[in-house]
């Protein structure tokens, strides 16, 4: 799974580095790529925690599906 996130980060870095000057590209690409990867990692962790709560019986199926849909809605990857 780490490879997936590393690949996503690399792709984002390459996409954002196709811009203007060298100094701008370095800072902007790292900032945007890092923020995007961190945000998606947070979504992945939230989905994992949600699945654990459902398996442990802490939430019912309706709550699980509602919260899963929210996570998928705000994510690019899921």
Question: Is residue 26 included in any domain, yes or no?
Answer: yes
Q: Which residue has the tokens 């949600």?
A: 50
- pLDDT for res 15: 65
- pLDDT for res 75: 77
pLDDT single digits (tens) 24-70: 555 655 565 566 677 788 888 999 999 999 999 999 999 999 999 99
pLDDT mean over 6-22? 64
Question: Is residue 27 included in any domain, yes or no?
Answer: yes
Question: Is residue 53 included in any domain, yes or no?
Answer: yes
Question: Is residue 78 included in any domain, yes or no?
Answer: no
46 is in which domain, residue-wise?
Answer: 2-73
Question: Is residue 51 included in any domain, yes or no?
Answer: yes
Question: Is residue 18 included in any domain, yes or no?
Answer: yes
Question: Is residue 19 included in any domain, yes or no?
Answer: yes
Total domains in the fold of the chain: 1
Higher-scoring residue by pLDDT: 65, 22: 65
């Amino acid at each position: 799974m780490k490879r997936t996130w590393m690949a996503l980060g690399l792709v984002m870095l390459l996409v954002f580095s196709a811009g203007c000057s060298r100094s701008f590209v370095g800072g902007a690409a790292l900032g945007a790529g890092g923020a995007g990867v961190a945000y998606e990692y947070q979504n992945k962790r939230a989905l994992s925690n949600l699945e654990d709560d459902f398996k442990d019986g802490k939430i019912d199926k309706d709550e699980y599906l509602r919260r899963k849909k929210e996570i998928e809605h705000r994510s690019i990857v899921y």
